[in-house]
Structure formats: structure tokens, C-alpha cells
Amino acid sequence: MTDIVDELRWRGLIALSTDEDALRKAFADGPVTFYCGFDPTAPSLHLGNLVQLLTMRRIQNAGNFPLGLVGGATGLIGDPKPTAERVLNAPETVAGWVDRVRSQVERFLDFEGEFAARIVNNLDWTSELSAISLLRDIGKYFRVNSMIAKEAVARRLNSDAGISYTEFSYQILQGNDFLELNRRYGCTLQTGGSDQWGNLTAGTELIRKADGNSVHAVATPLIVKADGTKFGKTETGTIWLDPTLTTPYAFYQFWLNADDRDVSNFLRIFSFRSKEEIEELERETIDRPQARLAQRALAEELTTLVHGAEQYERVVAASKALFGQGDLADLEPETLASALSEVPKAAVTELLPIADLLVAVGLAPSRSAARRTLKEGGAYLNNTKVADEDAVPTTADVLHGRWLVLRRGKRNLAAVELEN
């Protein structure tokens, strides 16, 4: 596919568009300068943001200029949540998050060559905007009846929480961002999630009214998993891009454990593989689902993209070692700790019989059941089968002076942490 709109369509990345035919012509006449904004309302971006980052890279790769906007101003407010007011973070906290989010955005765009990206911060122009200027020069173009019809605002107006003027005004600030970028850099396209559609069109309407220019907005769909659970969430919480918040091992496992019903959609949205490669992986998923080739390909590509090739190699080694295909003692302490953060654990201050440890970590319901598992040869300590019902681990068994890895059968894993 040579047309970027066709590619985005095939990948399922266009949920809403202001005028797709006009956008297609703009790309054909190109290059197009476009932007997507990322508010520092948390110390890290997450998988939902990754959809936007990769969409930006696709459009850049097609020969267009990206502007990655970090919302130093809008991050102080936050766009309206569906059910309740946001907690306003301290300005110094937001300033710190701006730097972290900026560094994450920078990893996914190309800042060299003919179509080099640029990072911008809306605090640069919003901090200079007085309340009088905002009301006289910008606010006059917004109609309240249109503002309250925006989906995000309407949901809150119909809730018990209502909405503050602070969050109600968010769409004015985002609309002004598009106006400023249009004037400063000739930016004519904004991308974002479909839940941001009201904010995206606030900008297109403002530019049309204020300057008489026609610009574009494209929204990607919200991703919903086949089982009905929220994309980017697990039992342990949000999947972040920051390795200190979500370990590379947990990140890798998220993609590796993707449902067969979801993996085709995930490949199209997140992978840079060609249409032919993705369709081949889709056929493999149908023909040989047990091989999980699509999941493995996705986990490799995205873990490498987000955390680097070295971290990918480490998490693969850890994943294999945990299930008996490698020596756990060979894993670096941080890699082992990262992998074990995703399994059930128990902390002890002394080395107890393995039967007791199996109960402590939940691999056996009782001591008698644990002893039976040991007797039947179904229990492993650090990948070594233990058949002695009375076996007690020694200090030599403690990995990196901290961990014991227990397994019942082939797949049931747990860890014991020895505390000093």
C-alpha cells in the first residue's frame, strides 16, 4: 500500500475523520505537518498512548512532518474523565512528568532526515496567554451549546459528579493548541483517540472560524479486547511504557498471552510488519493456534521497540528458564526479580521444608497435599525435581541470596523470597 490513508484503513486505525477524501488529497499533495498531544497526567505513557505514537510514526514514514506535543499546560488541568473530576497535580510534579513523557515520545519518532520530527510544549504559548486574551481572542469563537454537546462533557453533565469549569474549558485549550501549531508550523492535521474527538474538532472549528483555514482531524478507535476487559489493563493494573512501572518481562508477557481472537487486531495496530507478513501470521493462528506464532512475533517486536533488543533477550531467557528450559542461576538478579514479580510469592525469614513452602505460595492447599505432590514427582525447586517429602532447601539453593523458584507440574509457578 502506497497511500497512507489506505494503510491506516487496513490496519483499522481510522474510526473518525473530518473529511477523508480531502485528507487523502492533502497527503497526495504533501508533505503534511501533523501533531498528536500527550498530557503528563502520570509519570509515564501507557499502551493507549502507544497506539498514537505508532500511528504518528507510520504517518511520518509515509513522508510527513510530525509534531509531538507534550502538554505542559493541559497536563496541569487534564481532559475530562468519564465519571469524576481529576485530581490536580502540583505544578512541579507535572513539570517533572513533562520531561519523562517527552523522552518517551522522542523514542518513537525520527528526528533526523528530510521529515525530521519536532517536540513542542503547549506551556510555551499558553503561559503567555492572559485570561482576558483567552476570553476575547479565543473564547469568542466557542459556542456553549456546542461545547456541552461534546461527548466527554455530555457524559459528565449527566453524571452525579457534574463538571467543573476547569475541565469544561479543556477543549478551548486543546483547540488553541491546534490554532497555534497551524500558525507557527503550518500544521494541518491532528490525530488522537476517538474519545478525544470533541477536543480534536474543537481545534478544526476554531481554525476555520479564526483564520478561515480548513484543517483535518483523524481519530483512532478505542481498543476493546474480545473477552470484554479493558485493553492495556491486567490483574496487576495498567501496562506502562516505563520499565520501572511495568517490567519488560510483564510487558513481554502481556503480548505473549494475547487472546487468539485479539492477536490479529493487535498485529495490525501495533506491528510494522507488512500486510503480507501479518496475513501469514493470521493464517498460522488459525491453522496452528497452539504454536502462538503471532503472539511471539508481536511480543518480540514490541518488547524490542519499547525496551530494546538487550531487554528482549533477557526476558526471553527468563521466560524459558522459569519453565525449565534454562538455568535460573544464569539470570541476572534484576531480570530474575522482574520475572518473579509476575508470579505468586511468599516471604520467609528462614528456610522451611519445601512442603511448607508449597502451601505458603499457594501451589498446594495443605501440607498433606504438598507432600503428596512431592512424592508423586510433581514438585520442582529451581527447575530440579524434588521427590523427598521432607526435603528442605539449603542456602546454596537460594538464587542471588534472595529467591527460591517453585513449580508444580509444567506451568504452575511461584516464588519464595528469603528476607534477611
Q: Encode pLDDT of 145-171 as tens digits.
A: 999 988 888 888 888 888 899 999 999
User: Is 235's pLDDT higher than 80?
Assistant: no
Residue 305 confidence (pLDDT): 97
| Of 331, 314, 325, residue with least CA distance to 383 | 325
Rounding to the nearest 10 degrees, give the CA dihedral for residues 292, 307, 194, 98: 170
Cα 96 from Cα 84, distance rounded (Å): 25
Q: Residues 218-245: what's their mean pLDDT?
A: 88
Cα 362 from Cα 408, distance rounded (Å): 10
Residue 332 confidence (pLDDT): 87
User: Is 138's pLDDT higher than 90?
Assistant: yes
Q: Which backbone phi and psi does 404 adopt, to 5 degrees?
A: -120, 135
Residue 232 confidence (pLDDT): 85
Q: Residues 21-50: what's their mean pLDDT?
A: 95
User: Is 1's pLDDT higher than 60?
Assistant: no
Question: What are 68's strand-pairing partners?
Answer: 36, 119
All three cell numbers of 130: 492572559
Model confidence at 97, in pLDDT bands (50, 70, 90)?
Answer: very high
Model confidence at 234, in pLDDT bands (50, 70, 90)?
Answer: confident
User: Is 48's pLDDT higher than 60?
Assistant: yes
| Of 205, 199, 192, 221, residue with least CA distance to 35 | 192
β-pairing verdict for 237-238 and 233-234: antiparallel
Q: Residues 179-204: what's their mean pLDDT?
A: 96
All three cell numbers of 237: 493494573
pTM to 2 decimals?
0.89
Residue 233 confidence (pLDDT): 78
Domains of the chain: 4-220 (3.40.50.620), 224-331 (1.10.240.10), 343-420 (3.10.290.10)
Q: Which backbone phi and psi does 19 adopt, to 5 degrees?
A: -160, 95
User: Is 62's pLDDT higher than 60?
Assistant: yes
Report the range out of 53-57, 283-287, 400-404 with the highest average pLDDT. 53-57
In whole angstroms, how large is the CA radius of gyration of the chain?
26
Work out the number of other CB atoms within 10 angstroms of the CB of residue 107.
11
**Residue 77 CB partners (closer than 8 Å, separation 6+):** 86, 88, 166, 167, 169, 170, 173
| Of 315, 242, 288, 262, residue with least CA distance to 40 | 242
User: DSSP 3-state assignment of 104?
Assistant: helix
Cα 88 from Cα 100, distance rounded (Å): 18
Q: pLDDT > 90: what percent of the chain? A: 79
Model confidence at 11, in pLDDT bands (50, 70, 90)?
Answer: very high
**Amino acid at position 244, single letter:** T
Residue 335 confidence (pLDDT): 86
Q: CA separation (Å) from 106 to 56, 93, 187?
A: 11, 20, 19
User: Is 6's pLDDT higher than 70?
Assistant: yes
Please, what's the b/e burial string for 276-301 (b: 16 or more CB within 10 A of its CB; e: otherwise)?
Answer: eebeebeeebeeeeeebbbbebbbbb
For the chain, report the end-to-end CA distance as a whole number of angstroms.
Answer: 60
Residue 2 confidence (pLDDT): 60
Cα 370 from Cα 181, distance rounded (Å): 65
Residue 155 confidence (pLDDT): 86
Q: Residues 83-104: what's their mean pLDDT?
A: 92
All three cell numbers of 389: 517429602
Q: Residues 282-301: what's their mean pLDDT?
A: 94
